[in-house]
Structure 1
Amino acid sequence: MTQSLKDSSFNHNDRKDMEDLEKRKTIESFTLMDDIFMRLVFEEKSCTEYVLQVLMNKKSLKVKKQYVQKDLPNLYGHSLLLDCFCEDDQGNLYNIEIQNTSQDAGPKRARYHAALLDIHYLGKGEDFTHLPESYIIFITDKDIFKAKKQLYHIERKIEEIGADFQDGSHILYFNTDCKQDNTLGNLAKDFHRENPEEMQSKILSKRVALLKSRRLDKKGEQKMNLVLEQYRQKAFREGIEEGMEKGMEKGVESGKQRMALLMGILAEKGRVEDIKKAAGDKLYLESLLSEFGL
């Protein structure tokens, strides 16, 4: 009986050590391209300010106020939850979004973000001339326009005379897949780096290092645990959707069930990196299914 209790205690401690290890591995794997982690990094205003200074090519730019996960409700249609919304000291508005798929970064999504931003800024009966300059900034994992540019500026034009429409609405796409040896390229590299010591920006590096360290206070630890849980849930949803899609392509109902079971197990164990890797690597997916006897 005593031996059984010892074994039980050992197994419990062993499981906890494994969970802590998986948690640490997941935290260390985060980059600024993970939108949930990026929001936590951007809670430090100086990080948002630095990114905007680089993208806008304006070192004097100062962020006056900002909101992470800003809710823009729409009673008559689709609401939005913005990754980062801020205003500079000149009254210009910025919405920064991490977009890891071409579908999520489509032109009509950018158009809708700009429209809803205008709706929420202009008060009832207020003159349209009070609308500020607004910038929708999509930070993308891939070059969705395939023109090998670092930064794409989208502006409305008057076609017949080739002049700017000057409505104050601007859309920018920052292509982090283009990593040239310049300021924009260095920022693109920083968005993909897991190790803060390898980051070019001291401002971003300091913030990321703190969040990935074991020196967080109780409040910081709670925030990081929330990020982990949100990330697991997101990876779980995406994994199931991926599995269902693959299952339907093959016409095999059991394929959907196996994928759902696998994603549930991996999410429970905190193996987020495995979920991400399995989504794009068929051989790795098969090895995971085999590992858990699925």
Structure 2
Amino acid sequence: MLIREAVARGKDILLKAQQMPQAQGEHSVALQDAVFEAKLLMQSLLDISPAQYILASDDLLPDALQDTYFSFIQQRSEGRPVAYILGKTGFWTLDLLSNEHTLIPRADTETLVEWAINLNIAEQPQVLDLGTGTGAIALAIAKERPRWQVTGLDRIEGAVALAKQNAAMNKLSVSFVQSDWFSVLETETPKAFDLIVSNPPYVEPDSKYLRQGDLRFEPHSALIAENNGMADIQKIVEQAPLHLNSKGWLLIEHGFEQAHAVQTLFSKHGFSSIETKCDLNLQPRVTGGLLI
């Protein structure tokens, strides 16, 4: 089978899956574009660029690679995220390993990174990333600001191990430690930070979105928070002042309907210059404030 023939068959399988009625309460498979994804899976399998794919499309695809390719297609037709199928994803300017221990980094979170790296803070600040997952936020900040001292914390041992792999793969110096939010800092020598960033769980437990698209496959412990999705955000905002320097910043990603509630929490716990920035879809996504 030629490479282009395999991709054409893969596209047809994905289109059929996309059009197939799903169980009650679920949407069809959340594909960006069947043609794009069929090509992307092939390019990743062969480790070639889109331009190289065009040149290679009339080459024969070995039988062993056919089996792997259609395994990828089958997994995607069942809704499994591309990042988990390939074991990697892109974020900011980084290539990151990804697995079921962590959320898949999304472009909307780049709003938080962009805000963080453009803050007017100390020349060599101490930065803390809470719930680091793949390490995406911490590593993106370290990539753009190599003189900053960045630490990432996560409750899940597998996530910490993955973040360390991503740091090594991208040749970036970030310290990753296992911790349930601030808990590890309470047993160590007090360390004040100039900036704390976080993309915590903020989806309410009964949200319909948990039954749709990629979210069905991502770890719900990294998505769901009690109190209408606000429990972890509240904990972070309440405890952050204990770990921030004077005039330190806190930036938190949240749901697009939570901006007012998050701003209220910031004000209640001693923050000023409170602002909410929108994501790529112009939805209010990240709220930040300066500790008074």
TM-score (norm 2): 0.29
Higher Rg: 1
TM-score (norm 1): 0.29
